[in-house]
Chains A and B, each alone.
Chain A
Amino acid sequence: MTALPHPQLGARPGPADFRPAEPGTELTGSQLIWETLVAEGVDVVFGYPGGAIMPAYDAMPGYPIRHVLVRHEQGAAHMADGYARASGRVGVAIATSGPGATNLVTGIANAMLDSIPTVFITGQVSSPLLGSDAFQETDIAGITLPITKHNYLVTRAEDIAPTLHEAFFIAASGRPGPVLVDITKDAQQHRAAWAPPQGEPRRRGYRPDLRAREDELDRAAAMIDAADRPVIFCGHGIVKAEASALLRELVERTGIPVASTLLGLGGFPATHPQSLGMMGMHGEAWVNTSIQEADLLIALGMRFDDRVTGHLEKYAPHARKIHVDIDPSEIHKNVRVDLPILDDVARVLTKLTPRLRRRDRPAWDARIAELRGDSAVRDIVNLPDDGHLYAAHVMLDLWRLTEGKALIVTDVGQHQMWEAQYYKHDHPRRLITSGGLGTMGFALPAAIGARLACPDDEIWVIAGDGGFQMTACELSTLAQEDLKVNVAIINNGYLGMVRQWQQFFYQGRYVATPMRSPDFVKLAEAHGLAGVRVTRRDEIEAAVATARGVPGTVVVDFRVEQEDAVYPMVPSGADLRDMIRRPQPSPIVETPEDP
């Protein structure tokens, strides 16, 4: 199926034929919105129209900005989010007032918890109607107060351009985040002179440019040099600050091992010998044990979330802690640290690495090597072929077949953790996943956003049968926009992660977790897309080849073992070493190397 034509509108201008308005020209508020977006470098917006935003939509075709019509505004929000994560640029979504705006809320919260630079534009009822419970009036600025980095209500055309300019600046600078701009219908309709916003907006209370002091860097260097059992934490901040190469330089100079948070995966190459892998609730035992035994943690752009620390009082009891973050409110928030450094992590690494010396730590290296002997990943990779298809097999084969180079967008649940465990990410911005909010339904729309950001990359959605159905309507968007992503549904017939908790902590009472799904192959076909089903491991390769070969979106329904669990697991709030392990006897066969 190809994109629907819009004969009545003609083609929108390309960036080359577009001429921005002359400064001083009287424009409508609607035109000012698009002029400003073009000036901010926006090339695509994700949205859905409705009464209060119709003036803006009416003005849109004159501008070189692609609009992706979503099927639900939550999808628009996740697309803007996925676009931002894949590109590092600000993602933009647009919706109408009332239900359009409230449908964005989950997506805004998702962008907030993972600090994703996004701008949300909502239409609002005309200013004289504000506060009158007018048709489709909701106080979206009030609703999103705690889930945006900042938000605005704009009631005058002349405020539109400066407000949007400030919104983009705030969204992208410092610790990034979502900014919502609610624009009344009359502001969109009235006219004001176009004054292209220039330079960095200045707000007295906003200082995103914190700088580490030299003595702090000296002290950090001394602490690192003195440490016998140091571990570096690679957080999301490394990815956002484009600091991967700098981190690698530091590690290669000092030989210190690196553990990653879920959102930090890819910030440091997973196949690098100094890479330990993911820490926390579903991290391998050796990673968490190393942290518990470490005498120094060097936390780079991460926030000691409860999913990575386990029991706070028992967390890393022997370790001094250096915490580099751009956001002062993260310091001492969950974990008391010995040396906070408030700055951009890339700037810190640039200045810190030359201060460090190479120091061999043979005892620590040997201890970690010993810990690595015990591996849950190997346990399952070596499970004999008993006819069951394991999700881990799918991840592993996907990693192998795509040579670890695909851009993977995961949903939330067991499959998300298996992906993190088995797909080794060597590059930043190659894993997009909902970390802080854990939003089921994120993956498919986020992948559409990523597709618009990275037109040439191989993209795989990995979603559960449950989460996929939360936003499956966006298949229709993919079809209409003629976009290709490959969708792997890890179909276990359960809300698997919840079922796993029921198995471990609720005596196996599977309440409301068995889930019947539609025939996903037929569902794909109903959208004019291709669908493939896989039930045995030996079918994976052919299915992946089909998916990669078809020009449009392909949905692969992987019917995996239904009652598998993610191991190891640190129960919520437990000591990181108190892990639930894969039940023994397990057919462990030593293999020469890790997958």
Chain B
Amino acid sequence: MSPLLAAAAPRPRTPRTLVAHVEDRPGVLARVVTLFRRRGYNIVSLTVARTHLAGISRLTVVVDADDDTARRLEANLYKLIDVVAVDDVTASPAVIHELALVKVRASPRERTDVIELGKVFGARVVDVGHQTLTVELTATRDAVDRLIAALEPHGIVDLVRTGAVAMARGDAPPASADPNPYAHHQPQPDGVDDPDGAADDLD
């Protein structure tokens, strides 16, 4: 193992949420995914769709990564010509939601139980079959996990989750509106941009 990987190994990995604005061109997703594959990161989730901006798609990717890795990913994403801007919203106040559709076994007798259970989580019923109900929930990953756990005893027939989509809270426009999105990427002098204090142990 190279000293680089050896040094990186013990650092704690946490789910990181990166938001990227990319040009809507063929192959752009392959370029993004290639970056992650290269170092063997497991993508927890990846969503991509067009935005209101002409020719721009927005991509939200959640990966398990330590701080160094996340920074390197962000930097490598910037290197892609098709990537307009990248935001790591993990630490900033952001709405990070996903959508889940869950088809649960529910005989006519059990329907009310399932519907009531769903209501607790803010889920709504979107389809009714003879022996199943399909409920939809848009919420944080944790809330979706809890809903699924609660429905589990009824018997889950089918399930789909979109993975996270994210948006920063407040009035600030996204980094893609910034004429120089690298600016926030440049570490500030005197370790201002060095929250984990890693530069300290260099002296």
A205 touches B80 (CB 8 A): yes
A203 touches B71 (CB 8 A): no
Residue A545 interfacial (CB < 8 Å):
no
CA–CA, A338 and B192, complex, Å: 11
CA–CA, A205 and B25, complex, Å: 12
Residue B91 interfacial (CB < 8 Å):
no
A205 touches B2 (CB 8 A): no
User: B74: nearest residue on chain A (CB-CB)?
Assistant: A329
B39 to chain A, nearest CB (A): 11
Residue B63 interfacial (CB < 8 Å):
no
A425 to chain B, nearest CB (A): 30
Instruction: Pick the residue among B23, B185, B198 that contacts A205 (CB under 8 A).
Output: B23
Instruction: Pick the residue among A150, A216, A219, A342 that contacts B182 (CB under 8 A).
Output: A342
Residue B9 interfacial (CB < 8 Å):
no
B128 to chain A, nearest CB (A): 42
Residue B147 interfacial (CB < 8 Å):
no
CA–CA, A216 and B187, complex, Å: 11
Residue A505 interfacial (CB < 8 Å):
no
B73 to chain A, nearest CB (A): 10
A207 touches B202 (CB 8 A): no
Task: Chain A residues near B78: list those with CB within 8 A.
Answer: 205, 328-329
A329 touches B72 (CB 8 A): yes
CA–CA, A311 and B83, complex, Å: 34
Instruction: Pick the residue among B4, B180, B189 that contacts A312 (CB under 8 A).
Output: B4
Q: What's the A-B contact tally at a CB cutoff of 8 Å? A: 82
Instruction: Pick the residue among A170, A321, A328 that contacts B75 (CB under 8 A).
Output: A328
A309 to chain B, nearest CB (A): 8
Residue A185 interfacial (CB < 8 Å):
no
B79 touches A329 (CB 8 A): yes
What string of 1s and 0s marks CB contacts (under 8 Å) between B170-184 and chain A? 000000100010100
Task: Chain B residues near A332: list those with CB within 8 A.
Answer: 68, 71, 187
Given contacts A210-B182, A329-B75, A336-B202, contact A145 B31 (CB under 8 A): yes
Instruction: Pick the residue among B3, B76, B185, B189 that contacts A215 (CB under 8 A).
Output: B189
What string of 1s and 0s marks CB contacts (under 8 Å) between A315-327 and chain B? 0000111000001
User: A220: nearest residue on chain B (CB-CB)?
Assistant: B189
Size class of the contact patch on chain A: 35 or more
User: A141: nearest residue on chain B (CB-CB)?
Assistant: B27
B81 to chain A, nearest CB (A): 5
Find the residue from B4, B78, B79, B182 having the highest chain A CB count within 10 A: B79
Instruction: Pick the residue among A319, A321, A331, A333 that contacts B187 (CB under 8 A).
Output: A331
Given contacts A146-B34, A311-B3, A338-B199, contact A203 B23 (CB under 8 A): yes
Q: Which of A138-178 contact B (CB under 8 A)?
A: 141-142, 145-146, 149-150, 153, 170
Find the residue from A210, A215, A219, A319 having the highest chain B CB count within 10 A: A210
Instruction: Pick the residue among B3, B82, B199 that contacts A336 (CB under 8 A).
Output: B199
Find the residue from A205, A216, A338 having the highest chain B CB count within 10 A: A205
Residue A58 interfacial (CB < 8 Å):
no
Residue A29 interfacial (CB < 8 Å):
no
A225 to chain B, nearest CB (A): 16
CA–CA, A404 and B22, complex, Å: 49
Residue A266 interfacial (CB < 8 Å):
no
B182 touches A207 (CB 8 A): yes
CA–CA, A216 and B186, complex, Å: 11
Instruction: Pick the residue among A142, A219, A340 that contacts B186 (CB under 8 A).
Output: A340
Instruction: Pick the residue among B71, B176, B202 that contacts A321 (CB under 8 A).
Output: B202
Task: Chain B residues near A331: list those with CB within 8 A.
Answer: 75, 187
Residue B203 interfacial (CB < 8 Å):
yes
A306 touches B2 (CB 8 A): yes
A448 to chain B, nearest CB (A): 30
CA–CA, A204 and B80, complex, Å: 11
B187 touches A312 (CB 8 A): no
CA–CA, A331 and B182, complex, Å: 12
Q: Chain B at the A interface: mostly helix, strand, loop or mixed?
A: helix
Residue A61 interfacial (CB < 8 Å):
no
Task: Chain B residues near A146: list those with CB within 8 A.
Answer: 34, 38
CA–CA, A170 and B80, complex, Å: 11
B138 to chain A, nearest CB (A): 30
Task: Chain B residues near A213: list those with CB within 8 A.
Answer: 186
Residue B160 interfacial (CB < 8 Å):
no
Task: Chain A residues near B198: list those with CB within 8 A.
Answer: 336
A329 touches B7 (CB 8 A): no
Residue B123 interfacial (CB < 8 Å):
no
Residue A573 interfacial (CB < 8 Å):
yes
Q: Which of B141-176 contact A (CB under 8 A)?
A: 176
CA–CA, A345 and B34, complex, Å: 30
CA–CA, A340 and B183, complex, Å: 12
What string of 1s and 0s marks CB contacts (under 8 Å) between B1-44 and chain A? 01110010000000000000011001100110010001000000
CA–CA, A204 and B186, complex, Å: 19
Task: Chain B residues near A149: list those with CB within 8 A.
Answer: 81
Task: Chain A residues near B79: list those with CB within 8 A.
Answer: 327-329
Task: Chain B residues near A150: list those with CB within 8 A.
Answer: 81
B200 to chain A, nearest CB (A): 10
Task: Chain A residues near B180: list those with CB within 8 A.
Answer: 207
Residue B84 interfacial (CB < 8 Å):
yes
Instruction: Pick the residue among A170, A210, A215 that contacts B81 (CB under 8 A).
Output: A170
Q: Which of A351-381 contact B (CB under 8 A)?
A: none
User: A166: nearest residue on chain B (CB-CB)?
Assistant: B81
Q: Which of B46-96 contact A (CB under 8 A)?
A: 56, 68, 71-72, 75-76, 78-85
Find the residue from A145, A313, A339 having the highest chain B CB count within 10 A: A145
Residue A517 interfacial (CB < 8 Å):
no
Find the residue from B30, B85, B186 having the highest chain A CB count within 10 A: B186
CA–CA, A170 and B82, complex, Å: 12
Given contacts A170-B81, A333-B72, A336-B198, contact A306 B3 (CB under 8 A): yes
Task: Chain B residues near A573: list those with CB within 8 A.
Answer: 2-3
B4 touches A142 (CB 8 A): no
User: A145: nearest residue on chain B (CB-CB)?
Assistant: B34
A205 touches B84 (CB 8 A): yes
CA–CA, A216 and B189, complex, Å: 7
B24 to chain A, nearest CB (A): 11
A residues touching B (Cβ–Cβ < 8 Å)? Answer: 141-142, 145-146, 149-150, 153, 170, 203-207, 210, 213, 215-216, 219, 306, 311-313, 319-321, 327-329, 331-334, 336, 338-340, 342, 573
**25 examples of A-B residue contacts, CB within 8 angstroms:** A142-B30, A145-B27, A150-B81, A153-B26, A203-B82, A204-B23, A204-B56, A205-B23, A205-B85, A206-B81, A215-B189, A219-B189, A306-B3, A306-B4, A312-B3, A320-B202, A328-B75, A328-B79, A328-B182, A328-B185, A329-B76, A336-B198, A338-B199, A340-B187, A342-B182
Query: When A and B form their complex, which 9 residue pairs have the shortest distance between CB atoms, in order from nearest?
Result: A329-B75, A205-B84, A150-B81, A204-B84, A205-B83, A573-B3, A206-B81, A312-B3, A145-B34
Q: Apart from A204-B23, A336-B198, what are 19 other A-B pairs with CB-CB below 8 Å? A: A145-B31, A150-B81, A203-B82, A204-B84, A205-B80, A206-B81, A210-B182, A215-B189, A306-B4, A312-B7, A319-B202, A320-B202, A320-B203, A321-B202, A328-B75, A328-B78, A329-B72, A333-B75, A342-B186
